[in-house]
Chain A
Amino acid sequence: MTSTLTRVLAVLLPAAAVISNSALAQDPIPPPEALEGAFKSQKHFSPYAGRNFPTHVYWGDTHLHTAMSMDAGAFGNRLGLDDAYRFARGEEVTAATGQRVKLGRPLDFLVVADHSDNMGFFPNLFAGKPEILADPTGKRWYEMIQAGGQQAVGAALEIIDAASKGTFPQSLYYAPGSAPYRSAWEETIEAAEKYNEPGEFTAFIGYEWTSLVPPGNNLHRVVVYRDGGDKAVRTEPFTMFRPAGSTNPEDLWTVLQAYEDKTGGRLLAIPHNGNLSNGMMFPLVNPVTNRQLTREYAETRIRWEPLYEATQIKGDGEAHPYLSPTDEFADYETWDKGNLNLSELKTREMLQYEYARTALQLGLQVEQQVGVNPYKFGMIGSTDSHTSLATAEEENFFGKHSGTEPDAMRWEHPVLALGDVTILGWEQVSSGYAAVWATENTREAIFDAMMRRETYATTGPRMLVRFFGGWEFTADDAELRMPGGVGYSKGVPMGGDLPVRSGNGAPTFLVGALKDPFSGNLDRIQIVKGWLDGRGQRHEKVYDVAWSDAGRRQPGPDGTLPPVGNTVDVANATWTNTIGAPELLTVWTDPDFDASQPAVYYARVIEIPTPRWTAYDALRFGITMDPEVQMTTQERAYTSPIWYTP
């Protein structure tokens, strides 16, 4: 028995030797101003420098989960806030499965958006805190998770299921106001403060309000703070479990307003995954009151929700083939089997209330009825990764959660399953990122750009996209050297409203895209128009406005542009940029314009085919996947729209 003491000390002493001679904890040292980025230098030699419009796109992920999210933890993620930020800033970290991983290029900003319900629960469940083990369910979950592997995945599915069905044990719930919850939120804030470095990297304070309307309909929102920790710490995140929380978005907006009133701070909320909401994301009838949307609902929603997350790992949400049958690109990474836990299957009637393109048109309809458009949103993409790793690169995709990090089997394991309905690993989308046109890389500048919707979504690549609308753009403007300059001087950027109509003409759009130098060439730029006819009925049309290889590609008699071709060598996961164009730029005038009809326009940029992440997996693990598995992809960008109101 006496040997126990010696043994324990022997184990700990080497560690102590490393730590020894260390001083006591000090107060954190304020960050020096001196590191503010190279871009802020006033020593321009360029005659074009000093312009007051944004000339730079900043790239980020507004939706990343760490081990602080209970489901992320349940899936085996042990990477916390530090790892998430270090990784986004371009450093190499060790993933939960032990693999070393690094981003091809660092990101400029990050919102760690851990679930507000049960925030911090998982690190404590994992540590086997006595109050958790005292509960029989808590104890069982603890044991399943300790066992790891598929057992842990089973626990995670159970936990998510319990949360989505509202059967999460009350005695286990980490509620706002409790000590462990408070400390989880403070940790979240501290980490953002620590890694936020104005000019170099922006770490937003944020969280995800994970509203699931039973039986499991996804109404999630990511809440983003413009403010620093001094304000954010004064209230706690809004949750969905009663009594403190609610699954009704209107209650979230009330809480956001209360925060701003109390602190003078600023917030915005970003909804995501309408595709898993089973018709509830963009309603015409408020499901809470069972009445048509009111003006107050519309005003409040658009006050808080200037953006929509249109693409992410759990499916692309721009368009659906059933809603857009003539759009050959509409069926892109579609997830339409049911709601978030597949407890309710999808019906066709639901689809129109789920996808961004149709929602933009629904917004015009509501505006006709109540005078305000609740769905006047811009677009961003993000990952919703639960691995603490913001990966959206096809050749570097670490999956939805730690159970789907790279291995030879991940393509065939279900990521969602209920009964015989399953969504398999290969169906995960290596997507997406948020692009923001901002004047500098700070919380304030990026947040303000989000509020004015000067943003676009991509499915991963970092192509540069410009989109301006006005009444006076001419073909010459597309030949100009500086399309940005003429864009701002003659029109409004993406996210804006067309100026009041002058003359009798149709609206004109200056649209351009420059490829991501690391990714595929560009196939085409399209403009997607949605409008209402004289009877208030919705319509949409997709126009090809600029495309590559114009010498050999012209629209056929039916107006369809031939495909760009395909250079992908699936077996070797390579492609060549011998087709497509590095840059496309044009001025387009709406040929079907009717000045009496409200309309909404956005640009969609499509790359040539490149290998999908599954092709890299097949090559690296030497495996053959089922024939139904997609092996190539055409990555894309969706800009925020520009609106016309008669």
Chain B
Amino acid sequence: MNEKLTRWLREPLFHFLAIGVALFGLNLLLTRGDSAAEADRRVAVTETEIRWLRDTWQSRWQRPPTERELRGLVDDYVRQEVLYREALTMGLDRDDEVIRRRMVQKIEFLTSDLASQVQPTETQLQAYFQENLDRYLIPERRSFAHIYFNLDRRGEAAVADAERLLARLRDAPPGSIQPAELGDRFMLQHEYPLQREQDVARTFGQRFAAALFELEPGQWQGPIASGYGLHLAYVVAAEERQVPDLDLVRPRVLLDYGTWLREQANDAMLASVRSRYTVEIDEAAIRALALGGDSAAGDR
């Protein structure tokens, strides 16, 4: 299919038109008789249906059906159609879990399909980006050095040891300190360049990361605790939080926009449909029939 046509087919407006035309046709077909009831009792097997039966057969058997086979298919179709309509009239579609799920799914597919075909304009993407800016901020980064105190090795003395060393470090001339040579041995690094808080949290735990990002840069401080033990820390450089240009984070924003749009479309559809119904829920029955424990008051 050529590019232009493909694009055209993805246009939501086109979808609506197509759905509209189809429904209009269906409507005509079904109301062609004198009354709706009469139309409901009329089964027309036109070339459209027969062609569809033929194609389905062909895709399975890799050849067109013979006339006898095709007649068999038509008979089967008629049988299915009349029984289907009769079953609908008798209300057999209600309270059937399989049918309910399928119908719900079809309606959801309609909106999701529409949403997934759509790419935002530059203006829309910019607006979405600005609205959700905090998700794309380039977080503050800190470089730091630390000295480790192993609680298992030092026991209760660890805090005092750390504080004693801290007092010495405060008077030490800058550049004279090799963190790797002080405190206890540590299998990870002693210096970490340009880390985001989330990077530090992955290695040292959330508590340590939060504490580190509270420290005043430019001096040894601590001790602060991590999952490993105690640390003295020195924040040597800080890079402020930055607002990125959209182009820098465009792929991520596009991904998020797509997810958001799909959810919005489904939510909007549900909300609108629901608003046209009056929903009455027997609250007393919920309380009576549920497993005890959380009280209804807790829901408020």
- A residues sitting closer than 8 Å to B (CB atoms) are 1-2, 4-5, 8-26, 28-29, 31-32, 34-35, 38, 41, 43-46, 48-49, 55, 82, 86, 105-106, 127-128, 130-131, 134, 143, 146-148, 171, 194, 464, 466, 479-484, 512-518, 521, 548, 580-583, 585, 622
Contact with A along B238-251 (1 / 0, CB 8 A): 00000000011111
Q: Which residues of the partner chain A approach B186 to less than 8 Å between Cβ atoms?
A: 481, 514, 583
Choose from B102, B114, B120 the contact partner of A23 (Cβ within 8 Å): B120
* Residue contact A49 to B191, C-beta cutoff 8 Å: yes
Query: What are 11 contact pairs spanning A and B, CB under 8 A?
Result: A12-B110, A14-B269, A17-B268, A18-B261, A22-B12, A41-B194, A45-B143, A82-B255, A516-B227, A517-B227, A582-B228
Of residues A15, A82, A147, which shows the largest number of chain B Cβ atoms within 10 Å of its Cβ? A15
A38 contacts B196, CB within 8 Å?
Answer: yes
Q: Are B151 and A16 in contact (CB under 8 A)?
A: no
CA distance A631 to B189 in the complex (A): 35
The answer to whether A583 touches B124, judged by C-beta atoms less than 8 angstroms apart, is no
Given contacts A11-B272, A26-B119, A514-B228, contact A16 B16 (CB under 8 A): yes
**Cβ-defined contact, B228 with A18, below 8 A:** no
- Contact (Cβ within 8 A) B255 A20: no
Contact B23 A4 (CB under 8 A): yes
B34 contacts chain A at the CB level, 8 A cutoff? no
Closest residue on chain A to residue B182 by CB atoms: A481
Chain B contacts with A in 182-236, Cβ cutoff 8 A: 185-191, 193-196, 199, 201-205, 208, 226-229, 236
Q: Check: B271 CB closer than 8 A to any chain A CB.
A: yes
Task: Check A130 against B56 for contact (C-beta < 8 Å).
Answer: yes
Interface assignment of B168: CB less than 8 Å from any CB of chain A: no
Chain A CB within 8 A of B84 CB: no
Bound CA–CA A24/B7 (angstroms): 7
Is there an interface contact between A43 and B121, defined as CB atoms closer than 8 Å? no
Name the 10 nearest CB pairs between A and B, nearest first: A517-B227, A46-B191, A14-B272, A15-B111, A15-B265, A22-B118, A14-B268, A514-B187, A517-B205, A23-B121
Q: Which residues of B contact A583 (CB under 8 A)?
A: 150, 152, 185-187, 228
For the complex, is B60 an interface residue (Cβ under 8 Å from A)? yes
Which residues of A have CB within 8 Å of B11?
24
Contact of B266 among A15, A512, A518 (CB under 8 A): A15
Supposing A10-B272, A43-B194 touch, asked if A82 and B227 sit within 8 A by C-beta, the answer is: no
**CB closest residue in chain B, given A548:** B152
Known: A21-B124, A517-B204. A45 touches B98 (CB 8 A): no
Bound: A140/B237 CA distance, A? 65
14 more CB-based (< 8 A) A-B contacts, given A11-B110, A14-B271, A583-B152:
A19-B12, A19-B115, A22-B121, A23-B120, A31-B251, A32-B247, A146-B98, A147-B101, A148-B97, A194-B251, A464-B187, A466-B187, A483-B185, A518-B205
Kindly identify which residue among B98, B193, B268, B269 contacts A41, using a CB–CB cutoff of 8 Å: B193
- The reply to whether A25 and B268 contact each other, CB–CB distance below 8 Å, is no
**Residue B117, interface by CB 8 Å:** yes
**Complex alpha-carbon distance, A146 and B229, angstroms:** 53
Number of interface residues of B (CB under 8 A): 86
| A2, B31: Cβ atoms closer than 8 Å | yes
Smallest CB–CB gap between A550 and chain B, Å? 10
Bound form: Cα–Cα A129–B102 in Å: 12
Closest residue of A by beta carbon distance from B239: A38
Bound form: Cα–Cα A171–B59 in Å: 11
Q: Are B193 and A44 in contact (CB under 8 A)?
A: yes
Query: Which residues on the A side are within 8 Å of B16 (C-beta)?
Result: 9, 12, 16
B62 to chain A, nearest CB (A): 11
Whether B165 is near chain A, meaning CB under 8 Å from some CB there, is no
Q: How far is the CA of A469 from the CA of B56 in the complex (A)?
A: 65
Closest beta carbon of chain A to B97's beta carbon, Å: 6
Give A33's nearest chain B residue, CB to CB.
B248
A4 contacts across to B, CB distance below 8 A: 23, 26-27
Q: A15-B265, A32-B247 are in contact. Are A24 and B119 (CB under 8 A)?
A: yes
- Taking the closest CB of chain B, its distance from the CB of A549, in whole angstroms, is 8
Given contacts A146-B101, A582-B152, contact A171 B188 (CB under 8 A): no
Is B264 positioned at the interface, with any CB of A under 8 Å from its CB?
yes
With both chains docked as a complex, state the minimum distance between the C-beta of B54 and any C-beta of chain A, in angstroms: 13
The distance in angstroms between the C-alpha atoms of A516 and B228, with both chains bound, is 8
Supposing A106-B202, A131-B59, A194-B251 touch, asked if A2 and B27 sit within 8 A by C-beta, the answer is yes
Decide: A5 and B111 in contact? CB cutoff 8 A. no
A512 vs B185: C-alpha distance when bound (angstroms): 12
Instruction: State the Cβ distance, A165 to closest chain B Cβ, in Å.
Output: 24
| Contacting pair B194 A18 (CB below 8 A) | no
Do the beta carbons of A46 and B20 come within 8 Å of each other? Answer: no
Whether the pair A479, B185 counts as a contact (CB closer than 8 A) is: yes
Contact of A480 with B227 in the complex, beta carbons under 8 Å: no
Establish whether residues A25 and B109, one from each chain, have CB atoms under 8 Å apart when the complex forms.
Answer: no
Check if B10 sits within 8 Å of A582, measured CB to CB: no
Chain A proximity of B295: nearest CB distance (Å): 15
Chain B residues within an 8 Å CB radius of A147? 97-98, 101
B101, closest chain A residue (CB):
A146
Asked if B95 is at the interface (CB within 8 A of a chain A CB), the reply is no
Contacts A134-B56, A482-B180 known; A5 to B228 CB distance under 8 Å? no
| CB of B284 within 8 Å of the partner chain | no
Which chain A residues lie closer than 8 Å to B187 at the CB level? 464, 466, 483-484, 512-514, 583, 585
| A19, B27: Cβ atoms closer than 8 Å | no
Please determine whether A25 and B7 come into contact, CB atoms closer than 8 angstroms: yes
Residue of A nearest to B61 (CB): A171
Does the CB pair B23–A5 fall under 8 Å? yes
A320 to chain B, nearest CB (A): 31
Contact A134 to B259, CB < 8 A, known contacts A48-B189, A514-B228, A517-B205: no
Known: A11-B107, A517-B227. A82 touches B259 (CB 8 A): yes
Contact between B193 and A21, CB atoms less than 8 A apart = no
B137 interface residue (CB < 8 Å to A):
no
Bound: A25/B249 CA distance, A: 19
Q: What CA separation (Å) do A514 and B203 show in the bound complex? A: 11
Report the separation of the CA atoms of residues A46 and B192 in the bound assembly, to the nearest whole angstrom.
8
Identify the closest chain B residue to A17 (Cβ): B268
- On whether the beta carbons of A128 and B97 are closer than 8 Å, the reply is no
For B251, the chain A residues whose CB sits under 8 A away are 28-29, 31-32, 194
Task: Give B81-138 interface residues, CB cut-off 8 Å to A.
Answer: 97-98, 101-102, 105, 107, 109-111, 114-115, 117-121, 124
Assess the B7–A43 pair: CB atoms within 8 A.
no
Give chain B residues whose Cβ lies under 8 Å from the Cβ of A514: 186-188, 228
Is B254 among interface residues, defined by CB-CB distance under 8 A? yes
Given known pairs A16-B114, A32-B250, the reply for A127 and B23 (CB within 8 Å) is: no
Contacts of A131 in B (CB 8 A): 56, 59-60
Which A residues are CB-close (under 8 A) to B247?
A: 32
Determine if B189 and A481 form an interchain contact, defined as CB atoms under 8 angstroms apart.
Answer: no
| Residue B36, interface by CB 8 Å | yes
| A8 vs chain B, min Cβ distance (A) | 6
Expressed in whole angstroms, the minimum distance between the Cβ of B136 and any Cβ of chain A is 11
Q: Determine the chain B residues whose CB is within 8 A of the CB of A34 once the complex forms.
A: 248
Chain B residues in 8 Å Cβ range of A9: 16, 19-20
Looking at the complex, which one of A5, A24, A44 makes contact with B27 (CB distance below 8 Å)?
Answer: A5
Contact of B102 among A106, A128, A548, A580 (CB under 8 A): A128
In chain A, what residue has the closest Cβ to B141? A38
Q: Contacts A24-B10, A127-B109 given; indicate if A19 touches B114 (C-beta within 8 A).
A: yes
Q: Which of B19, B60, B254 is the one whose CB lies under 8 Å from A29?
A: B254
Does the CB pair B12–A16 fall under 8 Å? yes
Residues of chain B within 8 A of A14, CB atoms compared: 268-269, 271-272
Query: With an 8 A cutoff between CB atoms, is B181 at the interface?
Result: yes
Per the bound structure, the CA–CA distance linking A48 and B181 in Å amounts to: 12
Is B5 among interface residues, defined by CB-CB distance under 8 A?
A: no
